[in-house]
Amino acid sequence: MFLLVGLGNPGPGHARQRHNIGFMAVERIAGMHGFGAWRRRFHGEAAEGRMGDRKSLLLKPLTWMNDSGRPVGAAARFFKIDPSDIVVLHDEIDLASGKVRTKSGGGHAGHNGVRSIHAHLGPDYRRVRIGVGHPGDKDRVTGHVLSDFRAADRDWIGPLLDAIADAAPLLAAGADDRFQTRVAYLTRPPDGAGDGRKGAADGH
């Protein structure tokens, strides 16, 4: 079993916030790859299906971001899933808006959802970091990630989510570098055009 987790906060009031881009991504993956209905399981919502030749589980923890590790740990124990077969998709302020980078292991960089998963699984799972930009001041980070995407962000969010969903079977195959390359290819701006997205400097 391959486990793909999207991080976010539950409830309609949070649905369009930057912190919820992980939820948005797994919902798009479920739709594109014909997963079954979302059902309440593991203190969250889960959907089963296949990506490539692998049986896969999509999971949206509903315990609030700070306790994301509890649902992920419960699903991993139930299916006896090794951390190397777990990928977590989450927002990343230290990447420009719309940029995507994969990572395996390492620290949580202050992300509370990742911090919680570290506490339950250790650091040896895989991650897809989805850039949402930095507000430019560390004191504004919380308000930034808990605010809705702007109308202008729709120009890149839809194509990015489609690209992540298109490339997701590469994650199931363990080809994280190819996934990252595929997403970059599908979201590249037209020849001669800038992408118009403003991102963040390192650090927060």
The tens digit of pLDDT for each residue in 15-24 reads: 999 999 999 9
Predicted confidence (pLDDT) per residue in 133-192, tens digit: 888 888 898 899 998 999 989 899 999 999 999 999 999 999 999 999 999 999 987 664
Q: In this structure, are residues 38 and 120 in contact, taking their beta carbons and an 8 Å threshold?
A: no
**CA–CA distance, 110 with 53 (Å, rounded to integer):** 35
Q: In this structure, are residues 88 and 125 in contact, taking their beta carbons and an 8 Å threshold?
A: yes
Instruction: Write down the catalytic residue from 14, 19, 144, 204.
Output: 19
Strand order, beta sheet including 100-104: 39-41, 44-51, 54-61, 2-6, 86-92, 126-131, 100-104
pLDDT of residue 183: 97
Exposed, middle or buried: residue 68 (CB in 10 Å: 0-12, 13-18, 19+)?
Answer: buried
Higher model confidence: residue 147 or residue 28?
Answer: 28
Mean pLDDT of the chain: 90
Q: Is residue 62 over pLDDT 90?
A: yes
* Residue 170 identity: L
Extract the tokens encoding 20: 């919820």
Q: Is residue 37 over pLDDT 60?
A: yes
pLDDT of residue 191: 60
In the chain, domain spans: 2-186
Phi then psi for residue 138, to 5 deg, are -60, -25
Report the pLDDT averaged over residues 80-98. 95
pLDDT of residue 197: 47
Least confident of 27-31, 85-89, 128-132, 135-139: 135-139
118 counts as catalytic: no
pLDDT of residue 190: 67
pLDDT of residue 139: 85
Q: In this structure, are residues 179 and 102 in contact, taking their beta carbons and an 8 Å threshold?
A: yes
pLDDT of residue 203: 37
pLDDT of residue 51: 92
DSSP 3-state assignment of 87? Answer: strand
**CA–CA distance, 133 with 33 (Å, rounded to integer):** 28
**CA–CA distance, 48 with 114 (Å, rounded to integer):** 23
Give domain 2-186's CATH number out of 1.25.40.10, 3.40.50.1470, 3.40.50.970, 3.40.50.620. 3.40.50.1470
